[in-house]
Chains A and B, each alone.
Chain A
């Protein structure tokens, strides 16, 4: 009875009031649905923090690639006494941080002085497991290295080769390690 009375009262309300009430309810419903979704899918500050780190990384990379595009194409060295382009200490650090690639030439050069690495590398079809180029803050030097692994006469072996990256090759688009001094 009370319910019927209530419904009757609603029906008796002017059209305008009913419409505005309906609209308000609809808006509240939509906004509350978004609140529910936010509870389920929202990631809050954690996400912002994560994205900010990513933004910084992208900005840093952009800066480095800008620097690389300004370097002359060819061989870049860290020492005196050659005809190649000599890097300043500051640029040397930046180039090191921007460099990702170690081409086959540098790997084969380093393998000359590491017989086992050379053997595994040759037997397994010049396969390289992983490479790294990193800046050593304490020594203020750039180090590069790689790991070769594979089966050598029935035995699974893995050899890590690393050394100081003494020169780089600038292609105009990126830089690559040109020579690893592993002796």
Chain B
């Protein structure tokens, strides 16, 4: 009784755990239960049960309901597919003018709209691609193939790589100074001499279309949400789900609506990149002090002027951080969208990984990472750059960068022209170093991989076997051993204890959606892999973060490392682990750990830094030593912030587990990957994506609620 009075919360948790384990032991594994074969797999078997809902027949292997719930939402993917088919092929047929055949053609409205969007996107991508690399298609779009055929001069020449490299360096210099300029120049030279120019420019052209469009839409929606509560409420659930939705999952419906190619990749990238832009716009606009708004109104601004002359310039920094996020998302999508035919570095990387050519994959991955770091640094420099409104500068001082760029363009063109004489027999290396004609280190890396395998095979295999047999398999078995009712009791009970009945109902709804889908077992496997990754990442992240925090320079260094690692597209993490561990679950888990350690480390450092210095002084005056200060003051106060890091760690881990399906795991990601090559995959892909998003949201809800309460309790809200 004393214990209950002293630790009431601990008793409640203990009570919940006792009920959970009692249910686990009371409900036996059905004799006929076989993992994976367990739930509906869309194969017809006389032993399957079935039900019909909304005219859709759902077949599944039935078990004791306490063990696994029947897939009562199994109709959802079929219904989504049918709806998409209906929209694309039957709904609202209308007459549209076909300029090629000069006749009217009947087409369903949605199909026509998607085709129009497709052609606009294709045009924009081709335009930028041909500015960078040269070509004919843009001119053909305004004229015809016949006209271009009869006028051999009519083609976009493309920019020599020297011009783009110098242009990047000048822009970087303008934004941040010498350091970034040298880095920009070196990155461009590296890309060129390693023969990755063409794919890099293909990737860049797709990003240069996706990023500005995402910015415009994100800003527009952000402003609309700021102005209207209704819009904000309507957008909120979408933004929430999109934050935790794996990017893979959105590919499949986009494939159905927009087909395969760069245009579909741009659209899908926009879908993924717009939500962070909306959130950061909203955050920036909300942070504008009311005095500034008052001052604007008092100066006689109308609504339009207030928004564009006062609010947006004041929220400039947050909005530009949004641009930075958009660019980062675009890069991470550069590889993922290669699955639906986007050309460029991502496609080369994917191809190389498919062929298990680690060397080539490493080259392409390095290029993507370098460009991503460069654009990240440039956009952050832009966000932090102060506009000098009062500078009294001469014409040359004001326009020196533009003049330098103009001169560089001229020099670059002259050099490329001279190069056409010098490199008469082969390729004009001063214009473009062709793909596969540059320096390649692929062989070196491939030999390195072989050497690692030959030398360390025994140890790697022993580690692999130990990890899989002793750790992963028992953990997997434990997760799969949880009856549905016990899992639901645990999750809902946790929601109730943390955030009351409201939180309990939210997590109950999210868990039920997954439990009633046909992929509960797969979701458990996904959760087990993510949990393993999160536990190890948190141990590493919290330790490294705490140790780095002890010294100002090491903390800054570690934050810099986190920054760089965070800019790498997630697929890039698979390359080194595949080099070391081959195609195994271990590879995926190590990639998950590396990827998810970043937020854990970052939030630990930032959390510890957020502890007020006054408290440090107070503690020192009270005579506590360093260790006592850390454990008694800094950790308790920083813990809510660190828990937000845990939240991010979970999201990162889930993303990487899903991407790990490419290597061959057996979780939800595997099914999303399968859905990509299935003509009826749109519904399955989307439903699976929602399942993954909901796993993330369950943890998100629990952690955020707890953090909110804890902060209130500590008075740091």
Contacts and interface: CB of A to CB of B under 8 A. Distances in A.
B32 A34 contact: no
A43 B62 contact: yes
A56 to B, nearest CB: 11
B65 A34 contact: yes
Contact of B47 (A23, A41, A54): A54
A113 interface: no
Interface residues of B, number: 33
Contacts of B484: 34
B65 A27 contact: no
Contact of A34 (B66, B493, B501): B66
Contact of A22 (B4, B63, B496): B496
Contacts of B12: 16, 19-20, 23
Given A48-B32, A51-B32, A23 B64 contact: no
A22 B486 CA distance: 17
A41 B16 contact: no
A52 B64 contact: no
A23 B495 CA distance: 10
B49 A19 contact: no
A155 interface: no
Contacts of A34: 65-66, 484-485
A114 to B, nearest CB: 34
Given A16-B8, A20-B15, A51-B32, A26 B66 contact: no
A116 to B, nearest CB: 35
B69 interface: yes
A136 interface: no
Contacts of A23: 12, 15-16, 493, 496-497
B489 A27 contact: yes
Given A19-B12, A31-B485, A26 B62 contact: no
B391 interface: no
A27 B19 contact: yes
B712 to A, nearest CB: 16
A48 B31 contact: yes
A26 B65 contact: no
B70 interface: yes
Q: Which of B49, B64, B501 has the most CB of A within 10 A?
A: B64
Contacts of A22: 496, 501
Interface in B11-49: 11-12, 15-16, 19, 23, 30-32, 45-47, 49
Contact of A37 (B16, B32, B69, B497): B69
A33 to B, nearest CB: 9
A47 interface: yes
A130 interface: no
B504 interface: yes
Contacts of B62: 41, 43, 47
A90 B90 CA distance: 60
A30 B19 CA distance: 12
Nearest to B27: A34
Contacts of B19: 27
B242 interface: no
Interface in B383-432: none
A50 interface: yes
A115 to B, nearest CB: 39
A129 interface: no
A10 to B, nearest CB: 14
A157 interface: no
B139 interface: no
Contacts of A27: 19, 489, 493
A38 B489 contact: no
A20 B15 CA distance: 9
B64 A38 contact: yes
A27 B494 CA distance: 11
A38 B4 CA distance: 36
A42 interface: yes
A24 B704 CA distance: 24
Contacts of B4: 16
A51 B63 CA distance: 10
B485 A30 contact: yes
Q: Which of A41, A42, A50 has the most CB of B within 10 A?
A: A41
A30 B509 CA distance: 12
Interface string A41-67: 111000110111011000000000000
Contacts of B49: 43, 47
A51 B66 CA distance: 18
B553 to A, nearest CB: 47
B32 A26 contact: no
A41 B515 CA distance: 15
A24 to B, nearest CB: 8
A178 B4 CA distance: 79
Nearest to B483: A34
B488 A30 contact: yes
Contact of A41 (B30, B65, B485): B65
A30 B490 CA distance: 11
Interface string A1-31: 0000000000000011001101100110011
Contacts of B45: 54
Nearest to B49: A43
A38 B484 CA distance: 12
Interface in B473-508: 484-485, 488-489, 492-493, 496-497, 501, 504
A30 B489 contact: yes
Contacts of A41: 62, 65, 70
Interface string B54-65: 000000011111
A31 B46 CA distance: 31
Contacts of A31: 23, 485, 489
A52 B31 contact: yes
A26 B504 contact: yes
Contacts of B15: 20, 23
Nearest to B63: A47
B518 to A, nearest CB: 14
A26 B485 contact: no
A50 B65 CA distance: 17
B64 A30 contact: no
Contacts of A52: 31-32
Nearest to B47: A54
Nearest to B20: A27
A48 B30 contact: yes
A22 B501 CA distance: 8
Contacts of A54: 32, 45-47
B486 to A, nearest CB: 10
Contacts of A30: 485, 488-489, 492
B16 to A, nearest CB: 7
A154 to B, nearest CB: 38
Given A30-B485, A51-B31, 18 more contacts: A19-B12, A23-B493, A26-B492, A31-B485, A31-B489, A34-B65, A38-B65, A41-B70, A42-B64, A43-B49, A47-B49, A47-B62, A47-B63, A50-B47, A51-B32, A52-B32, A54-B32, A54-B47
22 contacts: A19-B8, A19-B12, A22-B501, A23-B12, A23-B15, A26-B496, A26-B501, A27-B19, A27-B489, A30-B485, A30-B492, A31-B485, A34-B484, A34-B485, A37-B69, A38-B66, A41-B70, A48-B31, A50-B47, A51-B32, A51-B47, A52-B32
